[in-house]
Structure 1
Amino acid sequence: MQRILSKGEIESLDHTAIPRVRMPGRETVFATRATRLRQLAQGHPVGGYLTLMAELVDAQHAVLARCDMPGAVPELIERAQAHGMPPLQAAGWPRDPSWTGLLRELLQHLDHNDKVPEEARRIAADLLRRLDQETGAIESLADAVLGAGGDIDGAAAPFVMGALQVYWTDLAIRFPPGHLPVVSPFGLCPLCGSLPVASVVRVGGQYAGYRYLCCELCSTEWHMVRVTCSHCEDTKTVAYHNVDGGPEGIKAESCDNCHTYRKIFYQEKDLYVEPVADDLASLTLDVLMGEAGYARASGNPLLWQGGDD
């Protein structure tokens, strides 16, 4: 039962404090992403791929609705708090074997979906076969996409990552924000330790005007001061770039100290911006930044290159 604050307690609250994190919502996180992907796909040069990813995200939404994975035990949370580390750190996390059941559900959704292109359905069917016959290889691919190193099958990776996103997003939804360590490693998700895909300057309520980095894995967002490199924390050489004639709400935030960039989206320019979807749909900006000599600080969870690319 939620306790009602007394008049004195309400007056004592710090109404100027910046909310540190924005936690994902079970009913909205993937539903919003799928809707945005379909909106961006209209007339887009890679609209077919955006639509395919929307089908995958639809499946994520359906699977997340009934997901209930084992979370962090109190001892792990206390250790994370003591050492300032993410309590659900993806790298090295002892995944419950049932996570492959999430992957199976996603793949079955795609394999039986007439809206999914034949090639993607073939990949889904092959992954279903490998789940039964090559479980170790699937676990190794999961480790690789979570940053443990090793070859990555670029065609299969979005689907494996999709299941891992459901796993960690479920954990994030049920994690009490008050149990997060007071400090966390710079540039990493304070909950799972993954890299951000992009950042968003939010509008509305307590988040208005603040910039939040968006986790590629668990969908948690955490505050970072604007005009600060999200990769190396430099503040002196940060610059902003956009595509001539392109959307006003999309820019690349570059840093001449580390020569990397991440995209930053402005909700005041486009209320419906969604970091994963909008990052995926703005590949032209990636090309321009590459030609200018900057490297992406991190990738997009729905787009992977193979180990030989």
Structure 2
Amino acid sequence: MPRILPRGEIENLDHTRIPRLRIPERAGVFSDRAARLRSLADASTIEGYLRLMARLAEAQQRALKSFEAPAIDDDVLAQARRHEMPPLPATGLARDPAWRALLARLLDEVAGDAGTPAQAVAACNALAHTLDTAPERVEQMADALLAGRVEGADVAPAPFVMAALQVYWTAMASGLRESQLPVGAFGLCPTCGTPPVASVVRIGGAHDGYRYLCCPLCSCEWHLERVKCSHCATTKGIAYHYIEGGRDGVKAEACDGCRSYRKIFYQDKDPFMEPVADDLGSLALDMLMGEEGYARRSGSPLLWQDTGD
């Protein structure tokens, strides 16, 4: 049985012995997500959407398996460590056009799946047409998503565009080592600078009992002490909210200081917790936190809302 360390004991540990990062494993990062989405769909009020995202995640895994990521220059990595900056910045990296080929493949596979709803097929075909006729428009959409915003008509295609970007960034990140990456700015992924989607208290091996923030873009995870706001870094006024009768191990870590929250998942309650899938599968908790007056600091890569006026 894994032992979860209390806050005081964690703070007294030699933190140089705690694995700072979890680099994504190409072999299963998206297939694990797909399996989790399908499992969550069975008891969900948004079953159809979760199954659609599972199909998309399966297509992502197939695309990742054969995608050769652009090489990362050693000088870029060294400079990033020197200046404590992410080497693969989401909003500053020049993207190889190959990411659009990834998008075309994902759209073709999801639209061609017999189980994909007609409305989703139409959205895939419309985006594929835009990709063929106005690739610059798709690049603009990608820029907006990586900056955390989407407007109007871009909401429906957003998860598909983001899915291709996830494959692209995860492929690059999976080839890195912890020693090549900086500590980075607090609350942001040290690899790409993206805010976390959620956090997970892991079980097993060197990560047992430790909490990791989870990047929704490059799939890297980085360690953060327990009972600490992932947005403002305070350790005061932290509370944990959950839905009575809901799934064990799914909570919202709320901060009274900045009035924000992020979800936290506990693998000792369910070893198959997957941050992106479980975040999408617990929307009722988001509604509860909104009613309590807390703001969510970063969204889901699989579900976007219009941020325009």
Contact 1:141 1:151 in 2 (8 A): no
1:27 and 1:248 map into 2 onto residues whose CA distance is: 28
Q: Which runs of 5+ in 1 are unaligned?
A: 1-13
1:149 and 1:125 map into 2 onto residues whose CA distance is: 23
TM-score using structure 1 length = 0.93
Name the Cα RMSD after superposition: 1.5
Contact 2:130 2:138 in 1 (8 A): yes
Taking the TM superposition and a 5 Å limit, the aligned residue runs for 1:75-86 are: 75-86=75-86
Paired residues in the alignment total: 295
Instruction: Give the letter aligned to residue 231 of structure 1.
Output: H
Instruction: Give the letter aligned to residue 254 of structure 2.
Output: S
Give the match's secondary structure for 1:268.
Answer: coil
Structure 1 position 225 matched with structure 2 position 213: no
Contact 2:150 2:308 in 1 (8 A): no
Q: 1:43 Cα deviation (Å)? A: 2.8
Instruction: Give the letter aligned to residue 163 of structure 1.
Output: A
Contact 1:86 1:180 in 2 (8 A): yes
Instruction: Give the letter aligned to residue 227 of structure 2.
Output: V
Give the aligned partner of residue 140 of structure 1: 140
Q: 1:71 Cα deviation (Å)? A: 3.1
Give the match's secondary structure for 1:158.
Answer: helix
Q: 1:296 Cα deviation (Å)? A: 0.5
Give the aligned partner of residue 47 of structure 2: 47
Give the aligned partner of residue 166 of structure 1: 167
Percent identity (aligned): 54
TM-score using structure 2 length = 0.93
Give the match's secondary structure for 2:198.
Answer: strand
**1:106-162 deviation per Cα after TM superposition (whole angstroms, max 9, x unaligned):** 000012111100000000001110011111110000000000756361100000000
Give the match's secondary structure for 1:196.
Answer: coil
1:307 and 1:169 map into 2 onto residues whose CA distance is: 26
Give the aligned partner of residue 181 of structure 2: 180
2:176 and 2:257 map into 1 onto residues whose CA distance is: 35
Contact 1:22 1:222 in 2 (8 A): yes
Q: 1:24 Cα deviation (Å)? A: 0.9
Structure 1 position 286 matched with structure 2 position 286: yes
Give the match's secondary structure for 2:36.
Answer: helix
Q: Which runs of 5+ in 2 are unaligned?
A: 1-13
1:259 and 1:276 map into 2 onto residues whose CA distance is: 22
Instruction: Give the letter aligned to residue 160 of structure 1.
Output: V
Give the match's secondary structure for 2:126.
Answer: helix
Give the aligned partner of residue 116 of structure 1: 116
Contact 1:200 1:265 in 2 (8 A): yes
Give the aligned partner of residue 90 of structure 2: 90
1:244 and 1:263 map into 2 onto residues whose CA distance is: 16
Give the aligned partner of residue 56 of structure 2: 56
Taking the TM superposition and a 5 Å limit, the aligned residue runs for 1:1-309 are: 17-147=17-147, 151=151, 153-181=154-182, 183-308=183-308
